[in-house]
Structure 1
Amino acid sequence: MPAEPTGSWVPVALSSDLPAGTVMPARIPTGALALWRSQSGHVAASADRCPHRGMSLSHGFVRGETLSCIYHGWSYGQAGNCLRIPAHPGLTPPEAIRTVTHPVREADGVVWVAVGEPAAAPPALAGLVPLRSLAAFAGIAAIEAAAGAKATVEGLLEAEGIRLLLSSAKDGETLIHVLVSADAGPAARIAGARAAESLRRKAEDFQKKGAAR
């Protein structure tokens, strides 16, 4: 089970859910992120808090190769450094003004963010492709119970003919990335999506019963 908060890669999103020029919220065990892709296609992960007034950067917008806060428009580069303060256009922002950033890897259609210093690259998903992501109001333990199987250290779980890539969103919530065989046809993909939905409902029921006891 992927429970160690340091030295690991966390699957936070699917590549297809983050087109160029967009930003979305994401989460790793150490906190919330603004996950964004520049116009040129580079993916970056910034702490979801603008250093100026604390506004969530995931509510902001991408302009070229920078992420801008929606509140006062302060803009940050992929390394986290502040590049522009609209209220002071002639000022070169001090290096001290910056957001916390995390290393990002994109592989096999999945966006991975590092927590700490992983010893290796993200796990390869050979022969598998992402189908969709869905959020479950259930912890990983409840999902494992519903599936009758244990997740690997990398967060991979096999159940009902599909593979799931699990990531703890926060207490009692899990992000599920549904994976299918690369050669799966339309019928198999539909069946996989339905199986994942069924497993999510079962896991959420397990979570509720566990919370009620």
Structure 2
Amino acid sequence: MPKDTAPAWTPVALSADLPAASVIPARLADAALALWRSAGGTVSAVADRCPHRGMRLSHGFVRGEALSCIYHGWRYAKTGRCLAIPAHPGLTPPEAIRVATYSAAERDGILWVAAGEDAGAPPAHDGFAGLRSITLAATAETLAACLGTPLSDGGLEWSVRETRARLLIAPAAEDGSILLHLLLAADATDAEKVAASRALETLRRTAEAAAVTGEAA
């Protein structure tokens, strides 16, 4: 795995999962997030809770360069500041009305989020492209034991029918599950992508079974 990995960064999604003018739920180990991409392509991450009534902002919608809550339409900028309250169109929202923000970055087809503001650059994965993400009901250690490969900088090197692959692992959620991102060599053929996707499903079943029986511990 690359040695410039910054521990502060968490891989929360693949770039392909977040088209322009859209929002999806994401999470850090201890925080629920709304991950959104503006119409212009900028990726931002905010706490998944509107300050008004607590509605999940990941259920909202993106118009231009702002994220709006689906409940009462309160609109937020990338900085987290409330821009507008539709029920009071003539009101300029006070500076104090804002949603918590997180550092967000995009690199090599991966979307990264960090809790700190000075996280530096996210890890590089040159030569790879994101293929798919899955949720796995097993620990990273169980997954590594199933593959017979040591964990390194939050991920695992893998090979599927001699095609280079890499597995990125997000920290465990409250229910103990992990988010697993499969990266494949950027020059992989369609047939190799299909084979890798199928191998990932097999790996999930193996790891989850081992988590239940404890055989890989």
Q: Which residue in 2 is equivalent to 1:17?
A: 17
Which of 193, 196, 203 aligns to 1:199? It is 203
The question of 1:176 aligning with 2:184 is answered no
The answer to whether the 8 Å contact 1:8/1:118 transfers is no
Unaligned stretches of 5+ residues in structure 1: 1-5
Mapped partners of 1:81, 1:169: distance in 2: 30
The TM-score normalised by the length of structure 2 is: 0.89
Mapped partners of 1:94, 1:120: distance in 2: 31
The answer to whether the 8 Å contact 1:7/1:115 transfers is no
Mapped partners of 1:173, 1:130: distance in 2: 20
- Cα distance, 1:7 vs structure 2: 5.6
How do 1:1-40 and structure 2 match up within 5 A? 8-40=8-40
What amino acid maps onto 2:166 in structure 1? R
- Cα distance, 1:115 vs structure 2: 2.4
**Once structures 1 and 2 are overlaid, which stretch shifts more, 139-148 or 71-80?**
139-148
Runs of 4+ in 1 over 4 A off after TM superposition: none
The answer to whether the 8 Å contact 2:9/2:119 transfers is no
Unaligned stretches of 5+ residues in structure 2: 1-5
The answer to whether the 8 Å contact 1:60/1:68 transfers is yes
What amino acid maps onto 1:104 in structure 2? A
Mapped partners of 2:25, 2:46: distance in 1: 10
How do 1:9-88 and structure 2 match up within 5 A? 9-88=9-88
What amino acid maps onto 2:92 in structure 1? T
CA gap of 1:69–1:173, structure 2 versus 1, over 3 A, is same
Report percent identity of matched pairs.
Answer: 56
CA gap of 1:20–1:110, structure 2 versus 1, over 3 A, is same
Mapped partners of 2:115, 2:212: distance in 1: 30
Q: Secondary structure at the match of 1:170?
A: coil
How do 1:39-188 and structure 2 match up within 5 A? 39-117=39-117, 120-153=120-153, 155-161=154-160, 162-171=165-174, 172-188=176-192
Deviations 1:117-145 (A, max 9, x none): 55541111011111111111222222122
Deviations 1:5-27 (A, max 9, x none): x9610110111110011100000
